[in-house]
């Protein structure tokens, strides 16, 4: 086991184990059945402390179900999820609270992430009140720090979330997830609804925060083109099964790749070409 300092400092209430294992997340022989359907079928992977894994697959392959299991929003039918040396909680408010503090998720459909009745300041202050012992002034400083990190202007703090643009909203959700210094961030299709410029901005932001905070990252996407430069490893899923897992630098090594991964790659390249043509000449029909 590695013994590491908790970068989050002393502001956490009842932190999990101080000894951080080299593996931040371990998923083993994971099965999930829902309404008589096998949604996940023997999924296995691990993410090292500070490591990053992309889970890639077409719609319906089970990516979101996997994220929900890791977030303890659903229970597996069988198998193991071990985070930072702790097993997935099955009961007990304290265990769930520790889990939700150290693992944060940002979804594609973020409309319900920020309470529409609160100002952006109050939305960002909420997790700090729930999960840290920071005082009012410290909370304000932390909010300003993270607002700056995600590239949002201070004046937006007065606004209700409904007044934010799609890109601003997504960045605010990222700030809310990161502001309590989680150990693992799960991003579930977080850039799918954004244009290509905003996609790149969010990816760059994730890279820099990952570098600065030593964050472990699980990045879920159907778009393979987003992964290089962001994640160390790629796990490809299809129909609830793991097709293969490899280092990102081996993505274009076609002789070693599964036919399904190559098909995913080709469809991504086709979409990119279409997008370039569209940008240059406008849509053809
Ligand atoms: N309650 C349920 N009962 C039965 N099947 C379900 C249930 N919920 C989801 N599914 C099915 O599980 C499969 C995996 O869904 P999931 O949302 O995890 O896939 P995904 O890869 O995240 O897809 P997307 O990218 O479209 O969100 C889908 O075929 C879906 O129809």
The residue nearest atom 6 of ligand 1, judged by CA position, is 34
The residue nearest atom 8 of ligand 1, judged by CA position, is 34
Q: Specify the DSSP element, H or E, that contains 199.
A: helix 196-213
| pLDDT score for 166 | 84
Nearest alpha carbon to residue 128 among 181, 73, 170, 186: 181
- From the CA of 70, how far away is ligand 1's center (Å)? 15
The residue nearest atom 18 of ligand 1, judged by CA position, is 62
Half-sphere exposure of 165 (CA within 13 A, CB side): 7
Number of helices and strands in the chain (H, E): 7, 12
Going by their DSSP bridges, the two strands 78-83 and 23-34 should be labelled as antiparallel
The residue nearest atom 29 of ligand 1, judged by CA position, is 60
Pocket of ligand 1 contains residue 64 by CB under 6 Å: yes
ipTM above 0.90, yes or no: yes
| pLDDT score for 285 | 41
Atom number in ligand 1 closest to CA 57 = 21
Pocket of ligand 1 contains residue 238 by CB under 6 Å: no
The residue nearest atom 12 of ligand 1, judged by CA position, is 39
- From the CA of 12, how far away is ligand 1's center (Å)? 35
| pLDDT score for 104 | 93
The whole-angstrom separation of Cα 205 and Cα 171 is 9
Nearest alpha carbon to residue 216 among 25, 32, 37: 25
Block means of pLDDT (10 residues each) for the chain, 285 residues, are 37 48 90 96 96 94 94 93 89 78 84 90 96 96 94 95 90 94 94 81 88 92 90 96 96 92 84 60 52
Distances (CA, A) of 186 to 49, 108, 140, 164, 201: 14, 11, 25, 23, 18
The residue nearest atom 2 of ligand 1, judged by CA position, is 34
Q: Is the Cβ–Cβ distance between 52 and 210 less than 8 Å? A: yes
Pocket of ligand 1 contains residue 61 by CB under 6 Å: yes
- From the CA of 41, how far away is ligand 1's center (Å)? 13
| pLDDT score for 19 | 54
- From the CA of 51, how far away is ligand 1's center (Å)? 26
What is the best residue among 65, 75, 77, 240 to mutate for testing ligand 1's pocket, by most ligand atoms within 8 Å of CB? 65
| Helix pair angle (120-131, 166-178), 10° resolution | 20
| pLDDT score for 234 | 97
The residue nearest atom 30 of ligand 1, judged by CA position, is 60
Pocket of ligand 1 contains residue 62 by CB under 6 Å: yes
Q: Is the Cβ–Cβ distance between 154 and 147 less than 8 Å? A: yes
What the chain holds in terms of domains, given with CATH numbers, is 2-281 (3.40.50.300)
The residue nearest atom 16 of ligand 1, judged by CA position, is 62
Instruction: Reduce the secondary structure of 249-267 to three states and give it as a string.
Output: HHCCCHHHCCHHHHHHHHH
The whole-angstrom separation of Cα 171 and Cα 150 is 6
| Helix pair angle (196-213, 166-178), 10° resolution | 10
| pLDDT score for 22 | 82
């Amino acid at each position: 086991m590695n013994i590491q300092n908790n970068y989050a400092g002393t502001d956490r209430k009842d932190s999990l184990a101080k000894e951080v294992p080299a593996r931040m997340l371990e998923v083993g022989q994971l099965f999930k059945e829902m309404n008589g359907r096998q949604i996940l079928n023997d999924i296995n992977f691990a993410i090292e402390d500070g490591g990053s894994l992309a889970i890639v697959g077409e719609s319906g392959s089970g990516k979101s179900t996997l994220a929900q299991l890791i977030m303890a929003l659903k229970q597996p039918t069988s198998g193991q999820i071990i985070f930072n040396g702790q097993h997935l909680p099955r009961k007990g408010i304290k265990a769930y609270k520790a889990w939700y503090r150290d693992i944060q998720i940002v979804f594609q459909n973020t409309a319900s992430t920020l309470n529409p009745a609160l100002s952006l300041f109050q939305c960002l202050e909420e997790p700090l009140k729930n999960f840290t012992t920071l005082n009012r002034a410290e909370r304000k400083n932390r909010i300003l720090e993270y607002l700056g990190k995600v590239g949002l202007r201070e004046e937006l703090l007065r606004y209700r979330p409904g007044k934010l643009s799609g890109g601003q909203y997504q960045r605010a959700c990222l700030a809310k997830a990161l502001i309590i210094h989680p150990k693992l961030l799960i991003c579930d299709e977080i850039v799918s609804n954004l244009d290509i410029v905003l996609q790149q901005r969010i990816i760059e932001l994730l890279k820099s925060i990952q570098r600065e905070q030593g964050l472990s990252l699980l990045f879920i996407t159907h778009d393979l083109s987003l992964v290089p430069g962001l994640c160390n490893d790629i796990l490809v899923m299809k129909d609830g099964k793991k097709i293969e897992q490899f280092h990102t630098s081996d993505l274009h090594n076609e002789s070693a790749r599964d036919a399904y991964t190559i098909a995913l790659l080709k469809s991504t390249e086709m979409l990119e070409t279409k997008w370039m043509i569209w940008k240059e000449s406008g849509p053809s029909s």
